[in-house]
Amino acid sequence: MQKEMIVIGAGGHAEVVIDSIDKTVYKIAGILDKDDTYIGQLVNHIPIIGSDADAEELYHKGITCAVIGIGHLGNYFLRNTIYNRLKHIGFEMVNVIHPTAIISPNVEFGEGNVILPRTVINSGAKLGNNNIINTGAIIEHDVILENNIHMATGSVICGMSHIGENTFAGAGSTIIQGIKIGANVIIGAGSTVVCNVDQDTVTYGTPAKVVKRR
C-alpha cells in the first residue's frame, strides 16, 4: 500500500518534485499552497487541496508524510521555516530521490532532501536535512552538506568540501576540492570557488570573490 503525502508549494520547482515522487512508493494526496485562491487547480495532474494553514488538519486525518516543493526564491529561510513547522506538527519529511540520480550506497542522508534528475552523489558524502540537489548537480566524495542548502542546476562540489547551512550555490557554479563554505552564503551562477568563504557573504566570479556581506 502506498503511503500518502502532501506537497507544499505549487510553483515550477514543485512540478519537478512531483515528477520525482511519481516514480516512488508514495502517493500524493494533494498540494498545499500559500494562496487559497488556487484551490482546485492542477499542477502536473495533482490538485491543490488547501492552503499552508490546512497542514495540521490533514496530518490528523492520517496524511503524515510531506515534502517541500518550494525552491530558493531568494529567501533561504522560507524553506527552513516551513520545514520546522511541518516537523512540529509531526510530519515525516520524506527524502525524494529521482530514479535517474546516481547515488553511492555509502552516502548518509538526513530527511526532507530533494534529489532531482541526473544528479550524482559519490561515496562518503553526508547530507543533512531539507536540502535541494537540483538537476545535473554533482556532489563528489566525502563532501559534507549541512541543512537547508540549495545546489542549483549543474553546480559541482568537489571532494572533501564542507558546505554550511542555508547556502545557495548558483547554476553552473563549481566549488573545488577541500573548500569550507560558511553558513548563509550565496555563490553566484557560474562562479568558481577556489578558497574558503566566510559566512553571511555573497560571492561571485572566477575565481570567486566576496562582493558584499549579508
- What residues act catalytically? 141
Written as nine digits, the cell of 57 is: 488538519
In this structure, what DSSP letter does residue 95 have?
P
Question: In sequence order, what are the beta bridge partners of 139?
Answer: 121, 157
Strand partners, 133: 115, 151
Contact between 129 and 145 under an 8 Å Cβ cutoff? The reply is: no
Return the amino acid letter for 64: T
Q: Tell me whether strands 96-97 and 114-115 are parallel, antiparallel or unpaired.
A: parallel
The residue type of 91 is F
Are the beta carbons of 200 and 213 closer than 8 angstroms? yes
Residue 48 DSSP SS3:
strand
Contact (CB, 8 A) for 143 and 160: yes
- Taking the C-alpha atoms of residue 22 and residue 212, their distance in angstroms, rounded to an integer, is 41
Round to whole Å and give the CA distance between 193 and 74: 20
